[in-house]
Structure 1
Amino acid sequence: MLKVARVAAGYASQQALSDAIETAAPRLGLDVTVGVRQVRRWESSDPPWPSPELGRVLTHLLGLELEELGFTPPWATGERPAPARRAAIEGTAAAARLAAVPAGSTSAVQPASVGVDFGAVTRSHRRLYWSVAPAVLHPAVLEHTRLGCALLPQVTNACRRSVASALAESYLLAGRIEFFDLREPDQADDTLLRGLQAAGEADDPLLGAAILAHMAFIPGWVGQRDKAAERMVAARAYARRAPASAEVWAWLDAVEAECETRCGSPRTALNLIGHAEDALEAGSGDSTPTPVWMDWFSPVRLAAFKGNTQLRAGHLPQARTTLLGVLEDLPRTEDKQRSVIFGDLAAVEAAAGRPEAACEYAVRALDQLAITWYATGMDRVREVRRSLAQWQHTQCVRDLDDRLYGWETTVSALQR
């Protein structure tokens, strides 16, 4: 488990973790050193319990308690105790048990049908995401992950893999809601790491790749390019372990392009998007199926990535054409994405010096957000409003402000 947490935290090698420990220790007021050999022992099947000082640095760097990292305390006599932190997500000892239960060590007390039944609820949550308010759906998904953690020690063999796979998908959905809908990146990072642990229990490398790529979004959106890049390297490594469809590879390109764009490298991002387009075209006859849970990506979604990147690169005519095409081709069910496209079109018009057109698209985005809330869409509108500062005394911007800061919109945004 330590290796999984190390890679997920952005430390691609044992040496990288060793270096990070020696860098972080002085900041915590500690004087400790550790070599690669010690990290290797920690990642063995029977890791020694770290000293208190080293244990403190490890939990600081990786964000997990020592028991969750696979260490057994020398005083342990039974089940490892669950940590008290993150009670809002775990809530019970069962939720922390995922990292402590070794594969194949359980005795089945549940029927084999449990895997199918648990997975059916996971699939229902996946579909509900596109229409149910995130603040309503999120608690239900978290409760479902608690159930999955409680069931995992009670099933064996194929059923165990089935439960673990559905549990990983549920953690992925919860992390997506926390990051994209609720704007809680730190919480999303922790949740996605638990999803990676569950994917490891299921031995599902494609789910692992998807989770790691989502984890790359978190540092990528705040300009931490190196950390995002390391997570993308890990995501691609996982994808290579299983047959991956052209859509999977194109989506990984799109995620990396988004991170590069946010980190100020739109030209690199456009090259990645071009590579993704080539991958989709070359794989049009590919028989490798795309996982059913990857319902957040399609050729039109790739075009949406492209339009935003063109906008940030300053290619305004191209961005306008691309985004209008996305708006025309977007399925009727893609309400969340529609608010983002309206926001990007508003940003194009603002950058082109057309405040009235920008305000018109921004209002359309707000109309859509009133139907289906999406924090990412609201972020786009707020970015546009900031870009309209030089026209803030015009009537169209004042009308936008009246709508953006109306009673209903303001209270709704603050509640969410």
Structure 2
Amino acid sequence: MLPNQELTQAMTEAGFTQSELADAMNARLRLDGCEGTVSDRTVRYWVTGKTRWPHPRQRAALEAVFGCTAAELGFTPPSRPGHPRESEQHVERRTFLIATTGTTAGVLAPLDSRPSTVGISDVIRLRDGLDDLMALDDTRGGHESLEHSAVSGASKALEMQRRAASQRIRQRLFSVAADFTATAAWSALDARHSDRAEQHLNRALYLAGLAQDPVAELRVWNSFAMLAHQRQDFNQAVDSAQAAQATAITRRDPLFASLAHARTAIGHANLGDRQAALRSLGYAREALIKAEPLPPRPSWVAFYGSAELNAITAIVRDRIGDPAEAEAASHQALSAIPVQFRRNRALATARLALAQLHQRDVEQSCDTAASVFSLMATSPIPGRMRSLLGDYYRDLITLAPKSPVAREWGDRYRLEWSRA
């Protein structure tokens, strides 16, 4: 008795355990109007080779679940001298029934019209597409085309739920759908389309719950905190960041804990709570020191590390009235932000310009702020960056309304604003 290696391989690719395959089989049998009689033992007999040719109804359900023939799954029919092979009888019977009744034809449809199974390779292909979108965001920032592509990716992941899959694969599909939807939300957030961002985030949080994915949940709460900041609802920003801190992943991976604490620090700084802001920054640094350098993590969090924490430190320090410390943190961030994160580098540069301006170094700050336009020269400026540059311009004309260099920068700003 030889084990059925083809079936074992098909189960592995689909993510089925023996119990999960039995459940999928019984669901398919009930869909065909038959009683679900497949047990763990039934599947074990198939896998070990003890049963080489399943019952016709079970065989038809197997073919529907995996989207291929029983022979391709490693099963072989028994030889019966003097009698037509059972598979040939089955084909002849199916041909007769299709010719005589449309109802039976619907039940016994050709194999290629049945829903195929979904395996781990399908999930990986979807995540590859998600990684491509994140790479585009790193360079260009949020925009409608990226948002629409992310929504389309989420829809594709959810459509796959209609096909046969193990419970583990279904949860992974929900996880991918949550990440795509969160990417759409982030793109809308970066473009400052807050209403669309909120709709996507609510959907992403629901999908993350279905997936039981704490990483996706943290990502959504992190974005909710940023959305609240855009709306200047700073109490809600702190609440959302603390919800991110409470997700299960922060107890398993200090890097995610660090991100949540850093986001909380910004909220406290916006509320004017200096001690709470600095305390949260301290927690963020302590957690980041504990983080392992290269465990498997999703692509969306690749931006976060010591460079990004320094960039967030610059925001916090500037908000609580420490512009010199903010300038130093900005320089540290810019020395370490990876080159592919062009949008983040431009944002950190704008923050550096603000810190310099708040120290009344007008000419230097104008030169620094102008370099933002050079960094983003090949792409439209995302809404969040445009808003930050608008904040810089308002502070500039408030602090140095008659400075020639300020007027020159204002002319450049208006020109670039129209281009963007």
Q: Give, in angstroms, the shift of residue 232 of structure 1.
A: 3.0
| Cα distance in 1 between the residues matched to 2:294 and 2:139 | 31
- The alpha-carbon distance between structure 1 residues 140 and 355, as it changes in their structure 2 partners (threshold 3 A), is same
Q: Give, in angstroms, the shift of residue 111 of structure 1.
A: 3.5
Residue 297 in 1 paired to residue 307 in 2? no
Out of 332, 335, 355, the position equivalent to 2:362 is 355
Q: Give, in angstroms, the shift of residue 379 of structure 1.
A: 2.1
Quick check: 344-353 or 222-231, which moved more?
222-231
| Cα distance in 1 between the residues matched to 2:160 and 2:269 | 41
Partner of 1:154: 163
Structure 2 alignment gaps of length 5 or more = 1-113
The CA RMSD measured in Å over matched residues stands at 2.4
Partner of 1:231: 240
Residue 314 in 1 paired to residue 324 in 2? no
Contact 2:140 2:342 (8 Å CA) reproduced = no
Residue 252 in 1 paired to residue 260 in 2? yes
Residue 380 in 1 paired to residue 388 in 2? yes
Q: Give, in angstroms, the shift of residue 118 of structure 1.
A: 2.3
| Cα distance in 2 between the residues matched to 1:392 and 1:222 | 28
Which whole-Å deviations, capped at 9, do the CAs of 1:275-298 have from their partners, x for residues lacking one?
1111222x1558965444422311
Residue 269 in 1 paired to residue 277 in 2? yes
| Cα distance in 1 between the residues matched to 2:309 and 2:255 | 10
Contact 2:118 2:160 (8 Å CA) reproduced = no
| Cα distance in 1 between the residues matched to 2:312 and 2:202 | 25
| Cα distance in 2 between the residues matched to 1:263 and 1:186 | 23
| TM-score, length-scaled by structure 1 | 0.67
| Cα distance in 2 between the residues matched to 1:132 and 1:381 | 16
Which whole-Å deviations, capped at 9, do the CAs of 1:241-261 have from their partners, x for residues lacking one?
x75311111000011112222
Residue 169 in 1 paired to residue 179 in 2? yes
Partner of 1:101: none
- The alpha-carbon distance between structure 1 residues 108 and 270, as it changes in their structure 2 partners (threshold 3 A), is farther
Q: Give, in angstroms, the shift of residue 271 of structure 1.
A: 1.6
Structure 1 alignment gaps of length 5 or more = 1-106
Q: Give, in angstroms, the shift of residue 154 of structure 1.
A: 2.9
Q: Give, in angstroms, the shift of residue 301 of structure 1.
A: 0.3
Q: Give, in angstroms, the shift of residue 303 of structure 1.
A: 0.6
Partner of 1:47: none
- The alpha-carbon distance between structure 1 residues 314 and 132, as it changes in their structure 2 partners (threshold 3 A), is closer
Partner of 1:33: none
Partner of 1:398: 407
Structure 2 letter corresponding to 1:214: S
| Cα distance in 1 between the residues matched to 2:419 and 2:275 | 37
Structure 2 letter corresponding to 1:254: A
| Cα distance in 1 between the residues matched to 2:294 and 2:345 | 30
Partner of 2:6: none
Which whole-Å deviations, capped at 9, do the CAs of 1:328-350 have from their partners, x for residues lacking one?
22221121111112211211122
- The alpha-carbon distance between structure 1 residues 115 and 290, as it changes in their structure 2 partners (threshold 3 A), is closer
**In the comparison of the two structures, how many residue pairs are matched?**
302
- The alpha-carbon distance between structure 1 residues 243 and 265, as it changes in their structure 2 partners (threshold 3 A), is closer
- The alpha-carbon distance between structure 1 residues 353 and 237, as it changes in their structure 2 partners (threshold 3 A), is closer
- The alpha-carbon distance between structure 1 residues 342 and 132, as it changes in their structure 2 partners (threshold 3 A), is closer
- The alpha-carbon distance between structure 1 residues 140 and 412, as it changes in their structure 2 partners (threshold 3 A), is farther
- The alpha-carbon distance between structure 1 residues 188 and 110, as it changes in their structure 2 partners (threshold 3 A), is same
Contact 1:266 1:312 (8 Å CA) reproduced = no
| Cα distance in 1 between the residues matched to 2:234 and 2:215 | 23
Which whole-Å deviations, capped at 9, do the CAs of 1:85-129 have from their partners, x for residues lacking one?
xxxxxxxxxxxxxxxxxxxxxx96443243233232222222222
- The alpha-carbon distance between structure 1 residues 155 and 210, as it changes in their structure 2 partners (threshold 3 A), is farther
- The alpha-carbon distance between structure 1 residues 318 and 410, as it changes in their structure 2 partners (threshold 3 A), is closer
Contact 2:131 2:299 (8 Å CA) reproduced = no
Match runs of 1:12-411 below 5 Å: 109-112=116-119, 113-132=121-140, 134-135=142-143, 136-156=145-165, 157-180=167-190, 182-239=191-248, 244-281=252-289, 283-284=290-291, 290-372=297-379, 373-389=381-397, 390-406=399-415, 409-411=416-418
| Cα distance in 1 between the residues matched to 2:329 and 2:317 | 9
Structure 1 letter corresponding to 2:319: R
Contact 1:115 1:160 (8 Å CA) reproduced = no
